[in-house]
């Protein structure tokens, strides 16, 4: 009897036939030569599927390795699971790994037991051993209540508590070498696919696991310790512990017990205290800066923060004036283009740097300057009777994408500048093994704001996100170490609020749309959080920059 065959269309360019029931893993072997690195996951008719799945009908298929955003996420999650298994081998079954947050090109971890450089070196060796053993990573679907019973038995109460708030009847567990765990994203087929990473011990703290990213997929770059950023994460982690809100379940318990309003007020106070301290530190300087420069990645809350910082400075008797870099864009026909031939507004060379520095020097010399305005519709600068003149006791506040890049203010001496880096450095995690990416928080913020202020759909924003991230990697992150201080704009309660605004937008993404798998991932991610109403959020909250009804014009 002849086997029933089905046609598989690979990436729209090549058709092959396979027997019904063939695994995606077997099919991927036929196309591995098209990829530089091991295939990790597939897209089957616009659904992301793991390699253990099978085909049953004619389909379109594509694959992803670690050089893609989708594949790199799978790579990172699988590496985390390998680390979890290695911790059990090295430190014993009772040892627990806590995956805290993203840092540099990897993630920072701590252990529930004592460790030192020698034991962390052994952990790295054990992780490589697990990779070389080529252990299968198996996925099993279990009743949620059975999973809860299992994790209770294993004394993993972080899993027990987070699963309490998930409404799914069934959940997926993964296993490596008889170690079972829960992840909210897909994993690779076997440990062998995770062949590049490094582990770096951090004295008196924990350790960082680095792995290739999409910008350097061929190799793991050495860990670069960004002390100021690391310390800010660590400080916020300790603050979260003081509030007894570490994981999603902690936040959900506050919501279900009607105690979230107090958490909102405390979180807002933490954020405001950062600005108050900056203002007091600037006032205490022997020589105050003439320019405050504030920069950060997309949806960090730069606009609201700059306006609130101005209030704190004025409260301390310091005169301020804000200048928008956006008014110094080159005329559209002079704007550089990217590799695809589109105008590159993310580039620093899209700004009229010469004119900007000329005006800065005139202002600091107390001269009157006719300020430009930029019309984004016509793509041209124009001038009205908008003159500005300041005295020696006035500080200019400038926020924008390139503010930490000295090329933007090349004619101004460094001692006259005070540089601030801002980002929502999310410390809240789903559980001890599932961290929340800072970029996910920013992505959700951006989807909501784009829809509210520009009429963009979630599809529009998700399509832009790769370009946005490329701009951040090129124009923001390389300059963060030159900041004088870092502001953390994360609010410990915000994911519950963002959920109420962003879920309907994500559900509107069409199932045939290329970004649908990402929309679905975010929907599944948000299922870990109970919704939080926005009534108790202050009008001057940085979150209002995204959800609206704030007191600042943004």
Which of 292, 325, 309 lies closest to 396 in space, CA to CA? 292
Q: If one looks up domain 5-60 in CATH, what number appears?
A: 3.10.20.30
State the helix-helix crossing angle for 438-454 and 458-475, rounded to 10 degrees.
130
DSSP 39: -
| Rg of the chain, C-alpha, whole Å | 25
Give the whole-angstrom CA distance, residue 164 versus residue 145. Answer: 9
Provide CB contacts within 8 A for 197, sequence distance 6+.
79, 106, 127, 209, 210, 211, 220
Q: Where are the alpha helices (DSSP H) in 371-515?
A: 438-454, 458-475, 494-507
DSSP 451: H
Annotated domain spans of the chain: 5-60, 70-229, 243-547
Give the whole-angstrom CA distance, residue 524 versus residue 407. Answer: 42
Q: Three-class SS of residue 49?
A: strand
Asked, colleague to colleague, whether 5-60 and 70-229 share their fold, the answer is no
Q: Judge whether 58 and 7 are in contact, CB under 8 Å.
A: yes
Which of 270, 307, 260, 262 lies closest to 544 in space, CA to CA? 307
Report the chain's terminal Cα–Cα distance, integer Å: 69
Q: Indicate the class that CATH gives domain 243-547.
A: alpha beta
Give the whole-angstrom CA distance, residue 476 versus residue 496. Answer: 28
* Alpha-carbon 300 to chain mean position: 10
Please report which helix (H) or strand (E) contains residue 120, including its range.
Answer: helix 117-132
Give the whole-angstrom CA distance, residue 479 versus residue 295. Answer: 9
- CATH level 3 topology of 70-229: 3.30.980
Give the whole-angstrom CA distance, residue 80 versus residue 95. Answer: 15
Give the whole-angstrom CA distance, residue 27 versus residue 507. Answer: 31
Which of 75, 351, 97 lies closest to 188 in space, CA to CA? 75
DSSP code string of 475-529: HTGGGGGG-SEEEE---TTHHHHHHHHHHHHHHTS-TTSTTHHHHHHHHHHHTTS
* Alpha-carbon 283 to chain mean position: 33
Which of 475, 433, 157 lies closest to 298 in space, CA to CA? 475
Q: Three-class SS of residue 161?
A: helix
Instruction: Say what the pTM is.
Output: 0.93
Q: Judge whether 405 and 349 are in contact, CB under 8 Å.
A: no
DSSP 139: E
Q: pLDDT of the chain along its 554 residues, tens only?
A: 567 888 999 987 888 899 999 999 999 999 999 999 999 999 999 999 999 999 999 999 999 999 999 999 999 999 999 999 999 999 998 999 999 988 888 999 999 999 999 999 999 999 999 999 999 999 999 999 999 999 999 999 999 999 998 888 999 999 999 999 999 889 999 999 999 999 999 987 899 999 999 999 999 999 998 999 999 999 999 999 999 999 999 999 999 998 999 999 999 999 999 999 999 999 999 999 999 999 999 999 999 999 999 999 999 999 999 998 989 999 999 999 988 888 998 899 999 999 999 999 999 999 999 999 999 889 999 999 899 999 999 999 999 889 999 999 999 999 999 999 999 998 789 999 999 988 999 999 999 999 999 999 999 999 999 999 999 999 999 999 999 999 999 999 999 999 999 999 999 999 999 999 999 999 999 999 999 999 999 999 999 999 999 998 76
Tokens of 319: 């005169």
């Amino acid at each position: 009897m002849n086997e029933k065959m089905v046609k598989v269309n690979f990436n729209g360019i090549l058709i092959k036939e396979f027997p019904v029931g063939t695994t995606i893993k077997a099919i991927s072997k036929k196309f591995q030569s098209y990829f530089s690195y091991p295939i990790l996951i597939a897209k089957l008719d616009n659904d992301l599927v793991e390699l253990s799945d099978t085909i049953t009908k004619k389909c379109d298929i594509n694959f992803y390795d670690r050089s893609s955003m989708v594949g790199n996420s799978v790579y990172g999650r699988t590496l985390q699971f390998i680390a979890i298994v290695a911790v059990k081998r090295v430190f014993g079954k009772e040892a627990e790994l806590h995956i805290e947050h993203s840092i540099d090109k990897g993630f920072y971890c701590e252990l529930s037991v004592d460790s030192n450089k020698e034991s962390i070196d052994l952990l790295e060796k054990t992780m490589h051993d697990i990779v070389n053993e080529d252990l299968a990573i198996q996925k099993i679907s279990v009743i949620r209540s059975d999973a809860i019973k299992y994790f209770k038995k294993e004394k993993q109460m972080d899993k027990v508590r987070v699963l309490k708030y998930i409404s799914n009847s069934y959940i997926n567990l993964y296993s490596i070498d008889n170690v079972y765990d829960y992840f909210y994203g897909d994993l690779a087929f076997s440990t062998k696919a995770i062949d590049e990473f490094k582990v770096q011990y951090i004295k008196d703290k924990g350790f960082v696991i680095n792995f290739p990213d999409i910008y350097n997929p061929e190799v793991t770059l050495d860990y670069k310790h960004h002390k100021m950023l690391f310390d800010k994460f660590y400080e916020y982690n300790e603050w979260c512990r003081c509030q007894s809100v570490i994981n999603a379940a902690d936040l959900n318990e506050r919501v279900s017990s009607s105690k979230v309003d107090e958490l909102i007020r405390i979180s807002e106070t933490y954020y405001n205290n950062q600005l108050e301290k900056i203002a007091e530190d600037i006032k205490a300087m022997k020589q105050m800066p003439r320019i405050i420069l504030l920069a950060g990645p997309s949806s960090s809350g730069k606009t609201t923060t700059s306006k609130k910082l101005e209030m704190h400075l004025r409260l301390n008797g310091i005169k301020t004036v804000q200048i928008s870099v956006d008014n110094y864009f080159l005329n559209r026909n002079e704007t550089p283009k990217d590799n695809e031939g589109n105008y590159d507004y993310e580039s620093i060379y899209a700004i009229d740097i010469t004119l900007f520095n000329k005006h800065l020097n005139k202002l600091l010399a107390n001269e009157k300057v006719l300020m430009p305005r930029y019309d984004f519709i016509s793509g041209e600068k124009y001038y009205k009777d908008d003159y500005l003149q300041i005295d020696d006791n006035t500080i200019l506040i400038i926020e924008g994408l390139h503010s930490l890049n000295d090329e933007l203010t090349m004619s101004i001496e460094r001692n006259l500048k005070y540089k601030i880096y801002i980002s929502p450095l999310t410390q809240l995690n789903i559980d001890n093994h599932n961290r929340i990416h800072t970029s996910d928080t920013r992505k959700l913020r951006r989807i909501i704001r784009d829809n509210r202020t520009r009429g963009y759909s979630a599809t529009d924003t998700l399509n832009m996100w790769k370009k946005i991230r490329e701009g951040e990697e090129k124009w923001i992150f390389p300059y963060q170490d030159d900041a004088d201080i870092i502001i953390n704009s994360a609010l410990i309660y915000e994911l519950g609020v963002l959920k109420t605004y962003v879920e309907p937008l994500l559900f509107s993404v069409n199932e045939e749309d290329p970004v649908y798998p990402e929309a679905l991932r975010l929907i599944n991610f948000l299922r870990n959080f109970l919704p939080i109403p926005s009534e108790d959020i202050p009008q001057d909250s940085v979150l209002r920059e995204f959800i609206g009804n704030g007191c600042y014009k943004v």
